[in-house]
């Protein structure tokens, strides 16, 4: 929705010297003016600076903003603004002056994203609610007039009181983390919202750790459903932010049991939907090789842990009656018999983003991992 600039201008007098805030990186020379008068004078270098500043701003867009809010135009000292009068050099110069004053003193600090939108600088938000409300209203008017599309507004926890103000302007929740809330605003009324949705998946790992005596490292969790009473299961957990699957699997085993391991490969993964918080879930079963054997449990999560004979582990009623776990065990056993190849991590760089990422795939030659499967 269009936000009136009247309250914005009235609150601060729209005097650059009084407002005191400058947009980062701006080269414009600003006015030396008295806020008791609308007749502010432009400095000698202002004309040149403003041409550079507004080179990408359409004149029609500026006129549209002031015509749509006559009260704001009047307060800005361009009460007689119209298509007829705008053609004059003096009126055009004055309108440019006030537009730049608005941009440099009230529009929130942003960086451009790659898709025609803006990302608000969370470190340079106003300190109080009133200033934020004025700046947000002015910013939306400005962004709309210059043809921006999506707006990303990150509000830290210590700015939580700004959330209702952003909602009032039409912002929507996108996602929340421990230290902030992300909100978005899609500007074009005649285009579908193209902003990407929040992450749709969570990622978990399970470690199949087996030693030379064909014993599997298993645990009993302290907090579990009644269906898992007495069940010995593989150590499992969630991947942390920016953590690799192979490091996450070893970390979870170490945290729960105290046993150090080496990653071998991903033998299988499961994809399920509407799990925790209605998110989809990816769960990777990883084969790990133990490099230590002493068990020291994490007593906050784990009730017990031990090395259990593989045959005994597989014969548990819970596994025998669950088709998915039965299949997982079949795959792990085939991997032990070298009749099945898992996915191993390889670091690659893509021209798409010039970043190093991890690609999991079967090696070209099975004997590279002592696997006889073709």
pLDDT digits (tens, 9 = 90+) for 216-265: 999 999 887 666 778 999 999 999 989 999 999 999 999 999 999 999 99
Contacts of 367 by beta carbon, 8 Å cutoff, 6+ apart: none
278, exposed or middle or buried, with CB in 10 Å at 0-12, 13-18, 19+? Answer: exposed
- The pLDDT, as a whole number, for residue 106 is 80
- The pLDDT, as a whole number, for residue 130 is 93
Report how far apart, in Å, the C-alpha atoms of 253 and of each of 111, 188, 216, 261 are. 42, 49, 12, 8
Query: Are 220 and 339 in a shared domain?
Result: yes
Kindly report which listed range (29-33, 226-230, 305-309, 345-349) carries the lowest average pLDDT score: 29-33
Query: Are 251 and 169 in a shared domain?
Result: no
CB 157 within 8 A of CB 179: yes
**Backbone angles phi and psi of 344, in degrees to 5:** -110, 150
Query: Are 229 and 307 in a shared domain?
Result: yes
In-domain check, residue 14: yes
Query: Are 7 and 91 in a shared domain?
Result: yes
Q: What is the pLDDT of residues 277-314, one digit of tens each?
A: 889 999 999 999 999 999 999 899 999 999 999 999 99
In-domain check, residue 326: yes
Residue 360: CA count within 13 A, CB half-sphere: 16
For residue 164, pLDDT over 90 is answered with: yes
H helical segments located in the chain: 6-12, 16-19, 46-53, 59-68, 70-75, 89-106, 129-145, 163-169, 245-257, 310-314, 317-320, 323-336
Domain carrying residue 143: 107-198
Residue closest to 261 by CA, chosen among 208, 336, 310: 208
Number of structural domains, the chain? 3
Kindly report which listed range (15-24, 92-101, 136-145, 325-334) carries the lowest average pLDDT score: 15-24
Query: Are 252 and 301 in a shared domain?
Result: yes
Query: Are 192 and 111 in a shared domain?
Result: yes
- The pLDDT, as a whole number, for residue 85 is 46
In-domain check, residue 91: yes
- The CB density around residue 309, as the number of other CB atoms within 10 Å, is 12
- The pLDDT, as a whole number, for residue 365 is 53
Distance CA 186, CA 206 (A): 40
In-domain check, residue 119: yes
As a whole number of angstroms, the longest Cα–Cα distance in the chain is: 92
Query: Are 269 and 215 in a shared domain?
Result: yes
In-domain check, residue 219: yes
Residue closest to 257 by CA, chosen among 320, 323, 304: 304
> How does residue 363 score in pLDDT terms, banded at 50, 70 and 90?
confident
Helices 46-53 & 89-106 angle (0-180, nearest 10): 70
Q: Which of residues 198, 218, 253 is at a domain's end?
A: 198
- The pLDDT, as a whole number, for residue 9 is 40
List beta partners, residue 120: 110
Q: Which of residues 83, 105, 127 is at a domain's end?
A: 105
Query: Are 226 and 363 in a shared domain?
Result: yes
Distance CA 161, CA 159 (A): 5
Query: Are 74 and 98 in a shared domain?
Result: yes
Residue 261: CA count within 13 A, CB half-sphere: 32
Query: Are 228 and 180 in a shared domain?
Result: no
Q: Please state the rounded mean pLDDT for residues 319-335.
A: 92
The CATH number assigned to the domain holding 219 equals 3.90.79.10
Average pLDDT value for the chain: 78
The CATH number assigned to the domain holding 158 equals 3.40.630.30
Kindly report which listed range (38-52, 104-118, 240-254, 360-374) carries the lowest average pLDDT score: 38-52
Distance CA 152, CA 247 (A): 32
Q: What is the pLDDT of residues 38-59, one digit of tens each?
A: 333 333 333 333 333 333 344 4
- The pLDDT, as a whole number, for residue 316 is 93
In-domain check, residue 374: no
Compare 124 and 223 and report the one with higher pLDDT. Answer: 124
Query: Are 179 and 215 in a shared domain?
Result: no
- The pLDDT, as a whole number, for residue 227 is 67
List beta partners, residue 263: 288
Q: Which of residues 198, 216, 241 is at a domain's end?
A: 198
- The pLDDT, as a whole number, for residue 223 is 80
Query: Are 256 and 111 in a shared domain?
Result: no
In-domain check, residue 357: yes
For residue 72, pLDDT over 70 is answered with: no
């Amino acid at each position: 929705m269009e936000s009136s600039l009247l309250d914005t201008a009235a609150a601060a007098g729209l005097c650059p010297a009084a407002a005191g805030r400058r947009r980062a990186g701006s080269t414009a020379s600003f006015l030396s003016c008295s806020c008791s008068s609308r007749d502010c004078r432009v400095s000698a270098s202002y004309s040149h600076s403003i041409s550079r500043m507004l080179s990408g701003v359409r004149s029609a867009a500026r006129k549209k903003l002031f015509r749509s809010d006559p009260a704001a135009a009047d307060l800005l000292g361009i009460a007689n603004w119209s298509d007829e009068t705008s053609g004059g050099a003096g009126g055009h110069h004055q309108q440019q002056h006030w537009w730049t004053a608005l941009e440099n003193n009230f529009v929130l600090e942003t960086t451009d994203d790659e898709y025609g939108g803006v990302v608000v600088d969370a470190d340079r938000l106003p300190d109080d609610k009133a200033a934020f409300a004025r700046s947000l209203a002015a910013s939306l008017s400005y962004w709309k007039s210059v043809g921006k599309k999506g707006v990303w507004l990150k509000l830290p926890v210590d700015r939580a009181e700004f959330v209702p103000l952003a909602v009032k302007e039409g912002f929507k929740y996108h996602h929340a983390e421990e230290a902030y809330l992300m909100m978005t605003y899609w500007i074009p009324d005649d285009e579908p919202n193209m902003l990407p949705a929040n992450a749709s998946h969570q990622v978990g790992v399970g470690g199949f750790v087996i030693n030379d005596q064909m014993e599997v490292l298993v645990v009993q969790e302290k907090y579990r459903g009644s269906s898992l009473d007495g069940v010995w299961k593989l150590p499992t957990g969630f991947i942390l932010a920016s953590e690799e699957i192979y490091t996450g699997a070893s970390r979870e085993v170490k945290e729960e049991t105290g046993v150090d391991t080496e990653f071998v490969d991903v033998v299988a993964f499961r994809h399920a939907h509407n799990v925790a918080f209605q998110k989809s879930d990816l769960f990777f079963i990883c084969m790990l090789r133990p490099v230590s054997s002493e068990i020291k449990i994490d007593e906050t999560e784990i009730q017990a842990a031990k090395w259990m004979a593989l045959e005994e582990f597989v014969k548990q009623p819970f596994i025998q009656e669950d088709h998915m776990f039965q299949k997982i065990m079949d795959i792990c056993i085939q991997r032990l018999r070298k009749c099945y190849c898992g996915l191993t991590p390889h670091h690659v760089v893509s021209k798409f983003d010039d970043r190093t990422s991890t690609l999991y795939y079967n090696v070209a030659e099975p004997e590279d991992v002592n696997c006889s499967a073709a």
